[in-house]
Amino acid sequence: MQGWLVLKIGERSKKGAGNFGNEKSFHSFALRNCNDLEPKERILFKAEELFMQYGIRSVSMDDIANSLGMSKKTLYQYFADKDELVEGVVDGHISEIEGDCINCRRDATDAIHEIFITMERIMEEFSNMNPMLLYDLEKFHFKAFRRFKDHKDKFLLQVIRDNIEWGIKDELYRSDINVDVLSRYRIESMMIPFNVALFPPGKYNLAVTSGIIIENFTYGLATVKGHKLIQKYNDQRKKNLTYEETKK
């Protein structure tokens, strides 16, 4: 795994329950230390940052080289073409997601808490993500998209399945749930906010839309006991958000 990814996963693990712990995100830390990375790692970091902000198609190799203050010739010493660079960014991002999922499960006290920690981290990431990113990936860099799809259909599906089974065991989710069907439903509903025809970026916020879908899915799973816990975590989350706003 690339060194910058190790740093990102390690720093995110310190966040614990996100705003429940009020730790700073890694992003600002990483930006301050980007110049300390090796050239290939710097390229990957900057490319991911630009892709997240502008989408993949809109960012050229020239743009990446200029942002790094290096020549395009130097860039091509590390990556043969844009396809290879995109694949490197996707591989690194997949590793980061897997590390985040492991940390969320480790830090959670129950299945619903895991959902709230995950939701907070997703909303943090999606707040800086261009919704065209997945469209660009599928249409113009299909090899990298297949890697992401394989990760989604295997690793993330298992994460969701494990969460539902945990919630059922603790009587936070209904025992009559079809775990297989609901796990697959949830994994596909993750992609809905990226449908720009359904949720135009100028009208809908990617992070907010994703949060609404996750929360409503969780309510649908929950027992009365689970509903009370959702409300508790929601109240706690709102208090933390209000606290963060007062500091600005």
Six-digit token pair at 232? Answer: 């508790």
Total residue length of the chain: 248
* pLDDT at residue 20 greater than cutoff 80: no
Per-residue pLDDT reduced to its tens digit, 6-18: 334 334 444 444 4
Q: Which of 39, 57, 129 is nearest to 93 (CA)?
A: 129
- Three-state DSSP class for residue 24: coil
Rounded Cα–Cα distance for residues 187 and 198 (Å): 18
Q: How confident is the model at residue 97 (pLDDT cuts 50, 70, 90)?
A: very high
Domain coverage including residue 169: 3-247
The CATH number that applies at residue 101 is 1.10.357.10
CB 18 within 8 A of CB 124: yes
Per-residue pLDDT reduced to its tens digit, 25-68: 334 334 445 667 799 999 999 999 999 999 999 999 999 999 99
Six-digit token pair at 215? Answer: 């929360």
| pLDDT for res 7 | 36
* pLDDT at residue 130 greater than cutoff 70: yes
Burial letters for 131-162: b for 16+ Cβ neighbours within 10 Å, e otherwise?
bbbbbbbeeebeebbebbeebbeeebbebbbb
Give the total number of structural domains in the chain: 1
Q: How confident is the model at residue 110 (pLDDT cuts 50, 70, 90)?
A: very high
Per-residue pLDDT reduced to its tens digit, 203-228: 999 999 999 999 999 999 999 999 99
Rounded Cα–Cα distance for residues 170 and 155 (Å): 23
* pLDDT at residue 143 greater than cutoff 70: yes
